[in-house]
Structure 1
Amino acid sequence: MACGDPAERADSESRCSEVLRDVWKFLDDEMDPDNRAKVQQHLDECSPCLEEAGLERKLKELLHRKCGGDRAPDHLRQRVVASLQVTVTTVRVTRGE
């Protein structure tokens, strides 16, 4: 995807790749303020990247709605915790702790 002036296409494509690589961090608000501002500015100026980011956001929202509230049944959680405790105990015994 390219944006901006065709004379700057190589630089634009590189910046687009960087923005799209980090779009999940941007959507999750996991970027420092300076980088977030740079990504926001790029998305404001580059309609192909904005479109791509919008699709990513919609997919993330859909996944959150469909999978975000699921919780493992209590009996499964208890089995997993018990199994982890046995594993930790076994590792400690093996290491001589």
Structure 2
Amino acid sequence: MSVSDTSHGHVHGDEPSSADCADFLERIVRLIDNELEDGDCAIVRAHVDSCSPCLERYDLQRTVKAVVARSCGETAPEELRAKVRIQIQQIQVRISEG
């Protein structure tokens, strides 16, 4: 067993390997996005509760998603929006002429 395999801080007998944690990373993102079945949610939450590195990843992913969501709620200034609309129209004209 490598050092990384034993550094998870698990309290239960069977410690997941690094590969197991890599698999949980995708499931953690899906948990945050509410894309998991209830049974899978319980499994991922149990793993995160017993694995410090995965708990840190979970917290980081939640923080990043919250910051992005907050940032996406802002409205662009009207001048910028007008410039973007003009560029979109120019591209549409080029496509229809092409």
Q: TM-score normalised to the size of structure 2?
A: 0.63
Equivalences, count: 90
Structure 1 stretches (4+) deviating beyond 6 angstroms?
Answer: none
Code of the aligned partner of 2:50 = E
Cα RMSD for the two superposed structures: 2.9
- Give the structure with the larger helix fraction: 1
Q: TM-score normalised to the size of structure 1?
A: 0.64
Matched, 1:84 2:88: yes
Moved more, 68-77 or 54-63: 54-63
- How far apart, in 1, do the equivalents of 2:29 and 2:56 lie? 14
Instruction: Give the SS at the match of 2:92.
Output: helix
Deviations 1:42-75 (A, max 9, x none): 213323311331233234334544x243221112
Report if the CA contact (8 A) 2:25-2:54 is conserved.
Answer: yes
Identity, in percent, stands at: 28
- 1:13 Cα deviation (Å)? 1.4
- 1:87 Cα deviation (Å)? 0.5
**Which structure 1 segments of 5+ residues have no match?**
none
- 1:40 Cα deviation (Å)? 2.3
- 1:8 Cα deviation (Å)? 5.4
Code of the aligned partner of 2:58 = A
Q: 2:45 aligns with which of 15, 23, 40?
A: 40
